[in-house]
């Protein structure tokens, strides 16, 4: 199902469960999905419009999706409240010019998080849980200065993946503390991930 100006989502007002792949191309009719709780397939947010601030707080009650793909040139639009209830997902992938804070604190289950080429300032990961992580990757996020959370977690995805699908990867995120990068790497190592799956460059920690 493609939601666009030509095909708005009004027919789904009040729907809580969507069976299939849902792709939203712009924000026209996006509020029709405010009640949506589950998507059996991939949910994509793509392109958007520079005046459609609703993208920043879309899908407020979504709890579960197979994958979530956020890929679009949204200008300076923040996404601080996007997917605020998302608890169970296979992969979260965020690319292109979204900004603000990616808040993933509601997650109780995920396999992959991949963030590349964004203008995000902060990413908040979940705390206090057991996660079967196969990949966490952060590449070319030049505005990113903090990756918070991921305290009191247990990782169960070891021994991990190696090139080209690393278990933990940091590349070109100059604002992120080297101490924080090393802390996350040590978390993966302590969980038994193989060294070849942890690619973080040469961060320094005073």
Whether pTM > 0.85 for this model: the answer is yes
Q: Which pair of structure tokens corresponds to residue 59? A: 């899908």
Alpha carbon of 30 to those of 76, 102, 103, 179: distances in Å?
19, 19, 20, 40
Report if residue 89 sits inside a domain.
yes
On the question of pLDDT at 14 being above 90, the answer is yes
Residue 127 lies in a domain: no
Answer yes or no: is 48 within a domain: yes
For the stretch 85-124, pLDDT in tens is 999 999 999 998 888 899 999 999 999 999 999 999 999 9
Domain span including residue 94:
2-110
> Average pLDDT of 176-195?
98
- 54 confidence band (pLDDT: 50, 70, 90): low
Counting the structural domains of the chain, the total is 1
- Residue 57's pLDDT band (cuts 50, 70, 90): confident
pLDDT digits (tens, 9 = 90+) for 128-175: 999 999 999 999 999 999 999 999 999 999 999 999 889 999 999 999
Is 180 a member of any domain?
no
Query: What distances in angstroms separate CA 137 from CA 33, 56, 132, 147, 183, one per listed residue?
Result: 29, 22, 15, 12, 15
């Amino acid at each position: 199902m493609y939601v666009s100006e030509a095909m708005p989502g009004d027919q789904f007002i009040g729907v809580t469960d969507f069976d299939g792949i849902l792709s939203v191309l712009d924000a026209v009719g996006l509020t029709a999905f405010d009640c949506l709780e589950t998507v059996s397939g991939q949910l994509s947010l793509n392109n958007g419009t520079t005046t459609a601030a609703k993208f920043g707080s879309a899908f407020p009650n979504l709890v579960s999706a197979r994958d979530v793909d956020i890929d679009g040139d949204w200008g300076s639009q923040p996404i601080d409240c996007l997917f605020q209830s998302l608890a169970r997902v296979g992969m979260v992938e965020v690319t292109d010019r979204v900004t603000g804070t990616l808040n993933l604190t509601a997650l109780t289950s995920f396999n992959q998080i991949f963030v590349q080429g964004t203008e995000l300032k902060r990413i908040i990961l979940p705390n206090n849980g057991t996660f079967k992580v196969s990949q966490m990757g952060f590449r070319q996020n030049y505005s990113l200065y903090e990756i918070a959370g991921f305290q009191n977690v247990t990782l169960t995805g070891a021994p991990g993946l190696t090139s080209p699908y690393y278990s933990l990867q940091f590349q070109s995120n100059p604002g992120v503390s080297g101490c924080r990068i090393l802390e996350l790497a040590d978390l993966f190592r302590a969980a038994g991930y193989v060294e070849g799956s942890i690619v973080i460059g040469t961060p320094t920690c005073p």
